[in-house]
């Protein structure tokens, strides 16, 4: 249900290649145009053979209003779901990765750290912490059997990994039980072994055994067929370091001192009643979030257990802040970001880029611009180097004003075994996948 070592925005999707770039116009970035270009550029042999066999939206069906929205294939009776794992090449075997085990979590961490998503120029690679992996992979109701590894039979070395976690996602008016697929990673030396399709089929089989038939995932590459295409934007918090490591570059007619001054933020947050979220805030935040997310066509259906897991602050994993009215003590606004550093490859002075990723933000009384600016101030105070945000939900109009620059890559959202007839604009999407 996912393909290629791609995940939310390549770590080096940054504005350095063209700091003055404008995001593509709606016409240029429409899925139909994208699909046509992809199809024209592929020979018959190189079309998505695997994905053309799967229940996903196909490029050829785009614009066909006769096709029904909803599940593409009906559920199979559980007795007919394949009971045995799919066959791997002879030298390899399946393993279920117990992420609670320090030893296994370290193995997964090392595999991802050395082999997961890199930018096109091989300058940065995602560096998920072990705490982050445990947060990402153990939401309420998670299945250990969906944390799937591949080992070399002889050495027992972990050489590949893929995961699913359960989620309730509302698509239009329908709340659908799904799995979110992530962390598909194959060791660099084994990329020719065609392990990825087998791993996708195996995680799909295990998900089906739990009577779940839909999935959501993202990729930096175009597959059949995105439900939405979004763009990452980047806000410099430590511009000198970002320029030194090649993440961004000095703008035309700009000096380093002028650049540092341009991105300078206040020392203190500006909103009265702005504070860190605490456990007793979970019911109020859940109400705020559910009400806010109801306006988007695709969004998570969070309950209080989900909010406690995904949004209660965890050091170096997720930060959440809210606005409590000093007069009424009502919780009126909320903002959050998660921590995903990147390893800096081949730089003598720096080894890690500390990045914050905008997560869920809800504004009812405080202007969203002010709320996100306070999030930037907090992130800067906590020594983050860059703050990243997708142009989804209500983010896009604020990004330029907050001095974000557009990245040079796109993030495509997909649903497995669920059809949406029309492509969503980023502003119709209320879902953030890690």
Per-residue model confidence (pLDDT) at position 32: 55
Per-residue model confidence (pLDDT) at position 25: 43
Non-local (6+) Cβ contacts of 417 within 8 A are 55, 56, 71, 72, 73, 213, 214, 215
How far CA 216 is from CA of 164, 228, 310, 409, in Å, comes to 10, 12, 17, 20
Residues of the chain with pLDDT under 70: 1-47, 118-120
Per-residue model confidence (pLDDT) at position 258: 96
Closest C-alpha among 69, 74, 18, 414 to residue 220: 414
Per-residue model confidence (pLDDT) at position 22: 41
Is residue 434 among the annotated active site residues?
yes
pLDDT digits (tens, 9 = 90+) for 74-105: 999 999 999 999 999 999 999 999 999 999 99
Sign of the CA dihedral running 272, 277, 278, 281: positive
Q: Are 375 and 358 in contact (CB under 8 A)?
A: yes
Domain boundaries, the chain: 15-227, 230-414
Model confidence, pTM? 0.89
Q: What is the CATH number of domain 230-414?
A: 3.40.630.170
* Burial tier of 4 (Cβ tally within 10 Å: 0-12, 13-18, 19+): middle
* CATH topology agreement for domains 15-227 and 230-414: yes
The tokens for 214 are: 């839909």
Q: What is the CATH number of domain 15-227?
A: 3.40.630.170
Per-residue model confidence (pLDDT) at position 119: 66
pLDDT digits (tens, 9 = 90+) for 102-127: 999 999 999 999 998 766 677 888 89
Q: Are 171 and 297 in contact (CB under 8 A)?
A: yes
Closest C-alpha among 333, 296, 309 to residue 434: 309
Closest C-alpha among 220, 263, 316, 307 to residue 2: 220
Per-residue model confidence (pLDDT) at position 12: 42
The tokens for 120 are: 């096109």
**Which residue is catalytic, options 297, 371, 431, 434?**
434
Kindly report the length of the chain.
Answer: 434
């Amino acid at each position: 249900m996912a393909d290629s070592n791609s995940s939310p925005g390549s770590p080096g999707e940054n504005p350095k290649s063209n700091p003055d770039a404008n995001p593509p116009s709606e016409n240029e970035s429409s899925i139909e145009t994208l699909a046509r270009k992809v199809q024209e550029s592929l020979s018959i042999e190189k079309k998505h053979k695997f994905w053309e066999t799967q229940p996903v939206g196909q490029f050829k069906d785009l614009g066909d209003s006769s096709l029904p929205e909803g599940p593409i294939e009906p559920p199979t009776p559980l007795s007919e779901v394949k009971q045995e794992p799919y066959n791997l090449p002879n030298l390899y075997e399946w393993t279920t990765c117990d992420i609670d085990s320090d030893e296994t979590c370290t193995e997964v961490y090392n595999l991802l750290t050395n082999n997961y998503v890199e930018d096109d120029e091989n300058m940065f690679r995602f560096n998920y912490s072990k705490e982050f992996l445990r947060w990402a992979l153990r939401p309420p109701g998670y299945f250990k059997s969906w944390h799937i590894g591949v080992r070399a039979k002889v050495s027992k070395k972990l050489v590949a990994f893929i995961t699913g976690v359960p989620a309730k996602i509302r698509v239009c008016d329908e709340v659908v039980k799904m799995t979110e697929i992530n962390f598909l990673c194959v060791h660099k030396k084994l990329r020719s072994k065609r392990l990825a399709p087998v791993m996708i089929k195996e995680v799909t089989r295990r998900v089906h055994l739990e009577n779940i038939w839909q999935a959501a995932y993202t990729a930096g590459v175009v597959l059949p067929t995105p439900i939405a295409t979004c763009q990452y934007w980047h806000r410099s918090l430590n511009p000198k370091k970002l320029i030194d490591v090649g993440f961004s570059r000095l703008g035309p007619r700009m000096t380093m001192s002028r650049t540092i001054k341009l991105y300078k933020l206040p020392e203190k947050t500006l909103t009265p009643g702005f504070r860190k979220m605490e456990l007793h805030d979970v019911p109020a935040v859940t109400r705020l979030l559910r009400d806010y997310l109801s306006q988007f066509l695709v969004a998570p259906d969070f309950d209080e257990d989900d909010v406690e897991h995904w949004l209660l602050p965890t050091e170096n994993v997720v930060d959440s802040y809210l606005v409590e009215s000093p007069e009424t003590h009502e919780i009126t606004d909320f903002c959050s970001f998660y921590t995903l550093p990147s390893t800096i490859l081949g730089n003598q002075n720096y080894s890690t880029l500390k990045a914050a990723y905008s997560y869920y933000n809800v504004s009812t009384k405080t202007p969203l611009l002010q709320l996100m600016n306070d999030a930037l101030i907090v992130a800067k105070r906590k020594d983050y180097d860059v703050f990243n945000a997708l142009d989804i939900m209500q983010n896009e109009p604020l990004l330029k004003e907050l001095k974000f620059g557009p990245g040079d890559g796109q993030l495509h959202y997909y649903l497995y075994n669920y059809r949406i007839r029309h492509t969503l604009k980023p502003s119709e999407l209320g879902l953030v996948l890690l």
